[in-house]
Structure 1
Amino acid sequence: MDTERDTGAAAVARWLRDGMARGVLSFPLTSFHADGSLDPDGYRAYLAAQLDAGPGAVFPACGTGEFFSLDEDEYRQVVTAAVEETAGRVPVVAGVGYGWAQAARFARIAREAGADALLVLPHYLVAAPQDGLVAQVEQLAARTPLPLVVYQRGQVAYTTASLRRLAALPTVIGLKDGHSDLDRLQRLTLAAPEDFLFFNGAATAEIQARAYAAVGVPAYSSAVHAFAPEIADAFFAALRDGDSGTAGTLLRDFYVPFVELRDRVPGYAVSLVKAAARLRGRPVGPVRAPLTDPSPADLAELSGLLATGLGLVGAAR
């Protein structure tokens, strides 16, 4: 382990690593009322159910949690609720984003709310060179003591040289990958310090979980956990136990059809997840614009897929 790494950041990294080995990473939905206003009580009830499923860590106010649609007061309520409901059982890693100045404002709120670390979402709008991508994280790291996990997706993709620079920052502890470029990812894992965390953050990460594990990145976030932790946990257990039959069945009969439905409409990566949670009776409400809820036809198909997935899990038990 790098003895120069901040001891506080190292402790959080160890806690996260332990959680990643035990279960999937939960990215909870944010609950809204029908009129689009925040529903704090519904969110807490939903979080309680998520935590009962035993995730490895909780990442509130990230992509699945519609960070991009929250104002600062709502963000504070969401992160505070996650910290209070979690009560120290697992790490709480709050999302921050936009430019570094705005990210630092959200980071301050997250720290005040008691978050253990931050997930640095891709910056807003512009393409940037590698020096700028690193400087974005450096500026944020200089303004918060919280450990940082950087997220490469969209316009953010780090080279091995940039990864080495980021990993040298005392509070940068890991990377979430959403590009699924396994050649690049393998090079990044080999360039990073031994204690640096990596996890699969692809949309519907289970589809590529076996491929990521083959390059040394077995941990992953699960959007399916947000609405059907039974399915997500069954798949995680199958991978952990080398049960290729169960993993293959779940991929073929549930995950692949779910991804095909997800890919039909932009934004369905969140909208379908929230609709599925509503089908399970979870008090999450609608998505906020610019996202849209699924059409009636797609909702009916989603309902059938959910029944299939839960039936497969029941059959496996």
Structure 2
Amino acid sequence: MTTITGARTAPAGILGFPVAPMDRNGQLDVQAFERNVGFLIDEGLSAIFVACGSGEFHALSHQDYRLMVETAMSVAQDKVPVYTGVGGNITHALELAKLSEVLGADGYLILPPYLIEAEQEGLYRYLNAIVSSTDLNAIVYQRDNCVLTLNTLQRLLVHPQLVGLKDGLGNMDLNIELTQTIGSRLRWLNGMPMAEVTMPAYVQLGFSAYSSAISNYIPHISRLFYDALLGGDQALLSELYRHVILPINAIRRQRKGYAVALIKAGMQIVGQPVGTDVRPPIVPVEEEHYRKLEQIIKVAFDRFPKPGVSTKEENVPS
């Protein structure tokens, strides 16, 4: 269990969310997934979140899910915490929570319930059932049809297993109310799409962690960005925004589902062979957008070379 001075806590810093690679037959490519997890750990990300949004949780079979968790645990070997994604219908969520505990995960990220637009009492019952079902750390993902009021979140704080809230909603009024009322009882994670775009605002509210999609293919940019943000290097932040972060975000916003598909495209571009196929209903990146991403990644390596590595040694698109 992740601890700080004996207390439960969620991971801080830059969080890694590996993809779910597919082979030519549409099956989970376990070896490619293993390389993805190992890459994120080697690049210094502070935790691995398996089978969540980037890992196409919506389309995984039970066998795929088990394989991904087992593989991540084997690669991590206690170097970093491993969290899983649980959610969807309540029966499925409880099954995955228990499986995560059996396989030795450190905790799980609770994704929104399936389809239903619930009342606060319904959301409370859903989350309460999952959080209380195991002794693992639990993080609630606030987004879509799972948006909690302050009162609902406070009711869940009786569970020491609840260690964090990840915000993918972007309601800053609500974020201020939650963070300034609850404070350090929870760790606050930025889970907005392309979280680098909003992280300067989130840091001011006490958010100390964020999920970085681009860390799957340009993790040195993620680290450069976060260090510049925490160090107050506004000039470097502006350069990163202008040449890398905002251009990638502009592509990501072109199509629904690019939050996942664009990661695989970026990985393919830098020489991590995961393919660009994604599971329905997500669509793959279109050729025009792929070529634009290729050029942005080239700029990223040319203007912001990875420390200690020459440009010639990088897998940089020419």
User: Normalised by the size of structure 2, how large is the TM-score?
Assistant: 0.91
Matched, 1:312 2:303: yes
Give, as a single letter, the amino acid of the residue that structure 1 aligns with 2:17.
F
Which residue number in structure 2 is paired with residue 138 of structure 1?
128
CA distance in 2, matches of 1:248, 1:87: 37
Aligned match for 1:302, one of 273, 293, 296: 293
Change over 3 Å in CA distance of 1:12–1:125 after alignment to 2:
farther
Residues 265-306 of structure 1 deviation map (CA, whole Å, 9 limit, x = unaligned): 110111011111111111323211111211111111110111
Change over 3 Å in CA distance of 1:31–1:15 after alignment to 2:
farther
Which residue number in structure 2 is paired with residue 225 of structure 1?
215
Which residue number in structure 1 is paired with residue 271 of structure 2?
281
Contact 2:2-2:81 at 8 Å conserved across structures: no
Contact 1:100-1:137 at 8 Å conserved across structures: no
Higher relative contact order (CA 8 A, sep 6+): 1
CA distance in 1, matches of 2:132, 2:157: 14
Which deviates the most, 65-74 or 214-223?
Answer: 214-223
Matched, 1:127 2:117: yes
Change over 3 Å in CA distance of 1:309–1:51 after alignment to 2:
same
Matched, 1:160 2:177: no
Contact 1:246-1:316 at 8 Å conserved across structures: no
Change over 3 Å in CA distance of 1:291–1:56 after alignment to 2:
same
Contact 1:47-1:82 at 8 Å conserved across structures: yes
Between the aligned residues of both structures, percent identity stands at: 32
CA distance in 2, matches of 1:53, 1:9: 20
Residues 71-113 of structure 1 deviation map (CA, whole Å, 9 limit, x = unaligned): 1111000011111101101111100110221101111221122
Secondary structure, aligned partner of 1:220: strand
Contact 2:124-2:152 at 8 Å conserved across structures: yes
Which residue number in structure 2 is paired with residue 90 of structure 1?
80
Matched, 1:118 2:79: no
CA distance in 2, matches of 1:64, 1:160: 28
Which residue number in structure 2 is paired with residue 190 of structure 1?
180
User: Normalised by the size of structure 1, how large is the TM-score?
Assistant: 0.92
Give, as a single letter, the amino acid of the residue that structure 1 aligns with 2:288.
A
Which deviates the most, 202-211 or 232-241?
Answer: 232-241
Matched, 1:179 2:169: yes
Secondary structure, aligned partner of 1:120: strand
CA distance in 2, matches of 1:98, 1:12: 34
Higher helix share: 1
Change over 3 Å in CA distance of 1:12–1:227 after alignment to 2:
farther
CA distance in 1, matches of 2:233, 2:241: 12
Which residue number in structure 2 is paired with residue 32 of structure 1?
22
CA distance in 1, matches of 2:97, 2:251: 35
Aligned alpha-carbon RMSD (Å):
1.9
Higher strand share: 2
Unaligned runs of 5+ in 1: 1-7
Aligned match for 2:58, one of 59, 68, 93: 68
Q: For this pair of structures, how many residues does the alignment match?
A: 307
Which residue number in structure 2 is paired with residue 54 of structure 1?
44
CA distance in 2, matches of 1:226, 1:149: 22
Which residue number in structure 2 is paired with residue 3 of structure 1?
none
Which residue number in structure 1 is paired with residue 192 of structure 2?
202
Contact 1:163-1:192 at 8 Å conserved across structures: no
Unaligned runs of 5+ in 2: 309-318
